[in-house]
Copies of this chain bind each other. A is one copy, B any other.
Amino acid sequence: MADINAIAKQFTEYYYHVFDFNPAVLAGQTRDRDNSMLTYEGDQLLGIASIVNKLISLPFQKVQHVVSTLDAQPTPSGLIVMVTGQLVVDDSTTPLQYSQVFHLLADGGSYYVYNDVFRLNYG
């Protein structure tokens, strides 16, 4: 599964880079994704417009995702990527544990995010 692991790693690096620096860019990168979903701490968003609105309205000024583990598996229509990691928010010295799963669907030679579920892990 070397290939999907490479795709998963590349996607994750890209996604968190955009998320941490300028999530509004996601709106321009994705085409007409009316069926794409994000569940963020239990909030359900449908469609790329709602998703980007949610991301840019999150209540922090600065955020950094640090990936701890990354697992990928093929699905009938793409691949699943599961990430666990730490979230450093607004210069806090206490990183928050999080987990996130992406389901990327194949679309010609590329992939786009169809499912995205994010949860903080409270101890």
- Residues of A whose CB lies within 8 Å of any CB of B are 1, 37, 39, 42, 44, 68-69, 71, 73-77, 80, 82, 84, 97, 99, 101, 103, 105, 114-115, 117, 119, 121-123
Q: A39-B73, A103-B80, A115-B80 are in contact. Are A123 and B122 (CB under 8 A)?
A: no
| A119 to B68 Cα, complex, angstroms | 10
CB of A6 to closest CB in B, whole Å: 15
CB of A39 to closest CB in B, whole Å: 5
Q: How many copies of this protein are present in the complex?
A: 2
Q: Is the CB of B115 within 8 A of A84?
A: no
Question: Which residues of chain B have C-beta atoms less than 8 A from A119's C-beta?
Answer: 69, 71, 82, 84, 99
CB of A66 to closest CB in B, whole Å: 13
| A42 to B83 Cα, complex, angstroms | 12
Per a CB cutoff under 8 Å, which of B69, B73, B76 touches A105?
B76
Contacts A42-B69, A80-B103, A99-B99 aside, 12 further interface pairs with beta carbons under 8 A come to A1-B44, A39-B71, A39-B73, A75-B75, A75-B77, A75-B115, A76-B114, A80-B101, A80-B117, A84-B119, A97-B97, A101-B117
CB of A3 to closest CB in B, whole Å: 14
